[in-house]
Amino acid sequence: MVTMTAPDVTARRLVVCGYAAVASAVIALAVGLTDLLADDSVPKSQWSYPLTPTVLWYVSVALALVHVLQALGFVGIAIAQPYGASRAAHVTTWVAVGGFVLFAVAELLSGAIGGQDNDSGAAGVVGGVFGVATLLTAIGGVVAGIAILRRRQWTGPGAWSVLLTAVAILLLVTPANISGAQVPRTVALLVWSLLFVPLGLAVARSRPADR
């Protein structure tokens, strides 16, 4: 019987977390194709616009999965600790994990209210949940991302990926969602999601000894 050592187990966890983040980008790309399913008959005042409530539900479930996989990517960052001994970076990385989980909850809630108006009470609550999730993930991305760049353990695109996830969600995803325009929203989502490819690869290639 082969007994795995603690470093071996940790290395495997990093691989799982890293490729989970990469998978999140692949699923997000597939979700982007739902633009083709847009129904011109859906009123702009409806929460699901331009998708039908049924299509939005399927999209919301897929996006909830995307956010869970993104959360695993940040769990990998917390395990690899490419930010070194920074306590603030470590804590806020876990804050970001909570933010991604909250995003997943918000997506499911969003899918559940697809047939309601944008100005309904439920829509306001769901929008607020998305707002809190955005704040949590941005905090983690900024603090941990800066610490990672300063330590210079990760090199190449992976070194910038964590910080850029926060920048993208603040400067691209949030404004695009506020605009309500489908094309900007889709493009912003895809740009943000693709950042999890270098992030995931950096996590997967990290080793416990790198700490």
What's this model's pTM, rounded to 2 decimal places?
Answer: 0.92
Report helix, strand or coil for 117.
strand
C-alpha–C-alpha distance, residues 55 and 52, integer Å: 5
List, for residues 139-150, the tens digit of each pLDDT value: 999 999 999 999
Model confidence pLDDT, tens digit, residues 8-61: 788 999 999 999 999 999 999 988 877 666 766 888 888 888 888 998 999 999
Residue 91: CB partners within 8 Å, gap ≥ 6? none
Query: In sequence order, which ranges of 81-179 are alpha helices (DSSP H)?
Result: 87-112, 121-151, 157-168, 174-179
- State how far the alpha carbon of 194 is from the alpha carbons of 29, 52, 65, 70, 203, in Å: 8, 26, 15, 11, 15
Cβ atoms 140, 161 nearer than 8 A: no
pLDDT tens across 171-189, in order?
999 998 887 777 788 889 8
pLDDT at 211: 46
